[in-house]
Amino acid sequence: ILITICLSVTSVFSQELSSTNKKALDAYAKGVVANQERNLEKAFSEFEEAIERDKIFAEAYFQLGKLYEQTRQFSQSIQNYEKAYNAKEQSSVKIPAAQQVGQLLFKKGDYQKALFYLEQAFPTLSPNIQKRYKLLIENCKFSVEGVKNPLIIKPLELPKTVNAFYSQYFPVLTADRETLVFTGLDNDSKDENIFISRFKENTWTSPETISDKINSPQNEGTASISADGRMLVFTSCNNKKGIGSCDLFISYKNGDIWTSPVNLGPNINTGEWESQPSLSADGRTLYFVSDRRGGYGRRDIYVSKIDSTGKWAKSQNLGNIINTYEDDLSPFIHANGKTLFFSSEGHVGFGGADLYFSENQKDSWTKPENLGYPINTHESQVALFITSDGKKGYYSLENDIVEKYRRSKLVEIDLPESLQAKFKRTSYLKGIVFDAKTKQKIQADIELIALKNNELQGKLTSDAHTGEFASVLTSGGEYAVFVSKSGYFFKSLNFDFSQKDGNDKTLEIGLEPIQKNTKEVLNNIFFETAKWDLKPESKTELDKLVTLLKTNPNLPIEISGHTDDVGKDVDNLILSQKRAKSVVEYLAKNGVNTLKISTEGYGKTKPISPNNSEENRKLNRRIEVKFN
């Protein structure tokens, strides 16, 4: 010990210290030794004694600054670093003090002062260190301007019934915004589990464990759910079926029951850490975070897609437009499938981890844009979920407790219109499919077709137990919806989603069994006004009819045309007949045996709605198919 003290004292006095006061230098040397021996109380005392002996002892102030920083007393640390900087015009710690205080002030959110100190230190730094400080200076300049134009947000805590745990975080919602999934932490057991809450009667219900098959005594959390709420990807740590420390698992919902989770396998998981998944609305693309080797930073964002065989393809790093040499975290792909929100410490921002977004344009990501102040502050913002309609955001807000413990609660914000305008909103279509005769819920195939180009926009299946389905529509315009099941006449519907608001649809769809006297309106057969030529948008529906009739060739059918009450009765009768014949001609050209197909034109004589509005008249202008 004596040798160590002697060496330390020799080392101290070999430095170019700014004080010549022997008693101050002696106290300083003792403080250095006490600090090396981890006797912090004595170190504090000796450095304070040194300053008492010499009020402008820069190195003593600097050492106190380090001690206060080490013990997380940041306000006192800043004060002492500033005194170290200002104590003498020249000292051995002037530049180190500027470096340290500049970083602390930036972390505190005092951007203008931080910028001053960092710019003082920058010219004297080595090229390797300058790279890091260049980003800090850019952050300060960005933040100084950013706080001048704040967004108007008012975080509203979700009810205490939801915020029932020591901490809750990583909220996600289904497309209809009626189911909330989040991670809850029990502080006593330190166990993380996944919970679910439902929006009923204008409030959120008390959270329930999502499933005993999913939650376990190990940690489960950071879940992502598909738009229809029937596919869940989540993180499980220290799992017996795991490949690394934390892996991604998947579970499917059948009726009200979740299946036993399955590890997503080596194309997604490695021997390292994988977490923070985000599923696309259709459940076919997965973004997540990994600290595996070969990335750009400590933690990077990766992506995998379901291939043509129905399996997850080998995951790929998202690239250096998104990922940086720092941590890049918490990806969230919006329901529009194009806008990626994520958290990063490596892009220009307000300090800590900030939230950014980037757009996927032709398989390339745009330069990430900071979401702005005060969504981002000098504190870290880790995760954000934005609803499919783009109107609300959900995230967890942390609160310090005695500076050592952190708790977080789930909050909701109304997203500022300036942010809403920067990415595409979506609509959802959901419903229940059932047997029109027995009312029994049935599993059926649902196809979404964009009528402007007859392109398939989505394909899904209703739940076999509940008949429920849900999908996100990522573009406006007119859509055809086809619901089909073997043994039933397909149902065709169409909707105009070109409006900016109010596009969400909820349907109850009864499928008619194929039997005598079954009839169905073909809602996606289109004609020009007063004409009988089939419009191109009719092709998808007509092809569906071709398939149905080829599958049931022995059933006689009637195809009938109907009009509204506008115009002369005789003209309407002739028009309805010609339109029905146009349909039969298309069927014949496409290989349907028309010997058992009859046509009839009823004009205005069989309306299904009163002819008292344009909307009702539109319903009456129709083609019907009836099995005789």
On the question of a cis peptide bond just before residue 556, with omega within 30 degrees of 0, the verdict is no
pLDDT range class, residue 581, cuts 50, 70, 90: very high
- What pTM did the predictor assign? 0.86
pLDDT reading at 9 higher than 80: no
Please state the rounded mean pLDDT for residues 426-442: 94
- pLDDT, position 2: 34
Report how far Cα 573 is from the mean position of its chain's Cα atoms.
Answer: 54
* Cα–Cα distances in angstroms (integers) from residue 105 to residues 99, 101, 350, 456, in the given order: 10, 6, 12, 54
Kindly tell me if the per-residue pLDDT of 606 is higher than 90. yes
Q: How many helices (H) and strands (E) does the chain have?
A: 12, 35
Per-residue CA distances from 288 to 61, 209, 274, 341, 343 (Å): 45, 23, 7, 12, 12
Q: Kindly state the tokens that stand for 438.
A: 């027995």
Band (pLDDT 50/70/90 cuts) for residue 4 is: very low
Contact, 250 vs 226, CB < 8 A? Answer: no
Q: How far apart are CA 120 and CA 95, in angstroms?
A: 8
Local confidence band at 452 (pLDDT 50, 70, 90 cut-offs): confident
pLDDT at 385: 97
pLDDT in tens, 353-363: 999 999 999 88
Rounded mean pLDDT of the chain?
Answer: 92
User: What's the pLDDT band for 5 if we cut at 50, 70, 90?
Assistant: very low
Residue 346 contacts by C-beta under 8 Å, 6 or more apart in sequence? Answer: 135, 297, 323, 324, 325, 326, 327, 328
Q: Which two tokens stand for residue 182?
A: 């989040």
Cα-to-chain-centroid distance, residue 487: 39
**Overall average pLDDT of the 537-553 stretch:** 91
Q: What is the pLDDT of residue 180?
A: 97
Phi/psi region, residue 90 (left: phi>0; alpha: psi -120 to 50; beta: rest), is beta
- pLDDT score at 15: 58
* Residue 88 half-sphere exposure toward CB, CA atoms < 13 A: 20
Q: What is the structure's pLDDT at 128?
A: 85
